[in-house]
Every structure is written in structure tokens, then in C-alpha cells.
A = this chain, B = another copy of it.
Amino acid sequence: MSRPASEFALIDRHFRRPSRHADVRIGIGDDAAIIATAPGLDLALSVDMLVEGRHFLAGADAHDVGHKTLAVNLSDLAAMGARPRFALLAGALPDADEHWLARFMDGFRALAGRHEVELVGGDTTRGPRNLCVTVVGDLPAGTAITRAGARPGDDVYVSGSLGGAALALHALRGAIHLAPDALAAVRVRLDRPEPRVALGLGLRGVASAALDLSDGLTGDLGHLLAASRCGARIEIARIPADAALPLHGASRALALQCLLAGGDDYELCFTAPVHARPHVDVAARDAGVGCTRIGSITAAAELVVVDESGSPLAEMPLAFDHFR
């Protein structure tokens, strides 16, 4: 599929180059860069930029924005199995609205505190609202979980449940009606995603590959498969759908879109050898987050999604792309 000027093509074409430093274990193209800075210890570095009107709604609660700005970055570290340590925050604000900034920082700090992340650098400027966070994590040398380690026969897992955040966005835009209770439940998924940091740490030495789900399951899993040079067969019936997703009614198409390609899930998608199933169970239990087997890695380099009757989906929903 040719998608000129997609976000991923832009990054590939303009950002990615062969590494010039021996201590860059993993450069651009995974959830975080991995740098060998000290004997026995690797650093993980990742950056994410959130733009008002794109990653959060204009008028969104600043506390939620502060939470989410850090959460999406911690999710990248979680996907590498890195322990979060430090963050740097740069923000453009339309005006010096101290109330907004104070609430933003409350949300940011509450999450940072829970993960013992220290804010060590900051820059503020005036401009259209835009928040950019860089996170630094660490991990024992050579233990990073990359996207490239999946092997045919491995199980494919996702953590938590999928589709809730996308459903909330559709409801807020009026594309579907939800009862107030259901909307409130899925809005939490959209506004306050919970980075799976503890799970990521528990999957070191267990998972063969991992990434975080930010743009939707099929698109993101596609990146993992491309990096691992293999394919996968996943079953819709096994994918842990958010309870509010109307998979069996008139809105099934929209529900499938949310489930498979909705984006903003911030769950982990990972693979592990079959013999590691007990270890995955332990990691999931210790982290307090469910992990569900949704299919298997295949040798053929394609992603097959089968529906509840066992038939491959004819049309695959498209993942989110910032430049499409």
C-alpha cells in the first residue's frame, strides 16, 4: 500500500540513518532509543509531542492533559521494558495562563510521582498550545524488549482492553450515542491512559517483542511484524474489547474500527514463546493488569485478522496516521 508522506514514511525517509556511534544499541524506529552509557546499564530515550485539537481537545481539563502528556511517553518506555527515571518538558502556551499551567503540572506531577519520575528540564514559550516531553529510563544492559524479536509460533498478547478511548472520541464527536455511565467509563481511557510500566518491567526476559498501542492494534502490530520480518494471525473473538464497545449491534463496523484501529489505547502488544506462558501470567498478575492471547506469529509476512466465524476480514480498518 503506497501512502506517500505518511507519518511513518516521513520518519523513515528523513530521520532514520545508520548509527554513527557504537553505543547506540537501538536508534530511530522503536518505541525508544537505547543507548549503552555505562557498563551494565542502558538508557532508554523517547520523545512525544501533543498538539491541542489533535492529541487532546481544545478545552480539555489541563489536569488530564498533564497526565496524558507524560503517560504516552511512559508508555513508550514500558514497551521497551525500561524503568522511567527523568523527564524534560517543553511547552508552548497561547498565553501565560498560570491556572492552566498549574493544573497541567498537577496532572503531570501526580503521574510522575507514582512512577518516581523527576522533571529535570523545562522550556516554556508562547505559541499555539503544544506540549513536548522527553523521557529517560534505564534498564540492565541488553535487556530492552524491541519490536524485532518476534518468531513464528510465538503467542501475540495485548494488555488490558482495547477500543475504549476511540469509542469515547466517536461519542464526543457525536458519531455514536452512549449512556452517561458508559461514556464516563471510556472517557477515562481517552483522557487518562495508564502507562503499563510495571508490566513492561515484568516482561523483560519474557516477551520476545513489544510495542505500545498508540495508533491502533492492526497498524501498530504491523510495525512489530515488519521489524520482526514475520506475520501474525489474530482472532477478533479473543481481543479484549472495552465493555462499552457495541460489537454485536448496528454499530458493529464502528466498534470494529475502534477495536482494531482506534488508537489511543496505550496498552502493550507483545509476543512471547509458547513455553513462556506461565511467565507472562506471573508478569500480568504482578503488574495487576490482564494480558490476553489474541493470536500467533506466522512465518508468512502478512497480518490476518479472523472474525468470530473464523473468516479473514475482507477489509482491514486503517490505523491512525497524523499525515493522512
Contacts and interface: CB of A to CB of B under 8 A. Distances in A.
A125 B51 contact: yes
Interface stretch (A85-93, A174-182, A203-211): A85-93
Copies in the complex: 2
- By size class, the interface of chain A is 35 or more
A96 B33 contact: no
B33 A125 contact: no
Interface in A101-127: 101-102, 105, 109, 116, 118-127
Given A10-B124, A46-B88, A128-B130, 6 more contacts: A11-B122, A14-B101, A37-B43, A49-B130, A51-B128, A126-B323
A124 B136 CA distance: 19
A90 B47 contact: yes
A125 B322 contact: yes
Given A37-B37, A37-B41, A55 B125 contact: yes
A24 interface: yes
Given A38-B37, A127-B128, A136-B45, A21 B51 contact: no
A132 B7 contact: no
Contact of A118 (B24, B48, B92, B96): B24
Given A15-B89, A45-B121, A86-B45, A51 B134 contact: no
B134 A28 contact: no
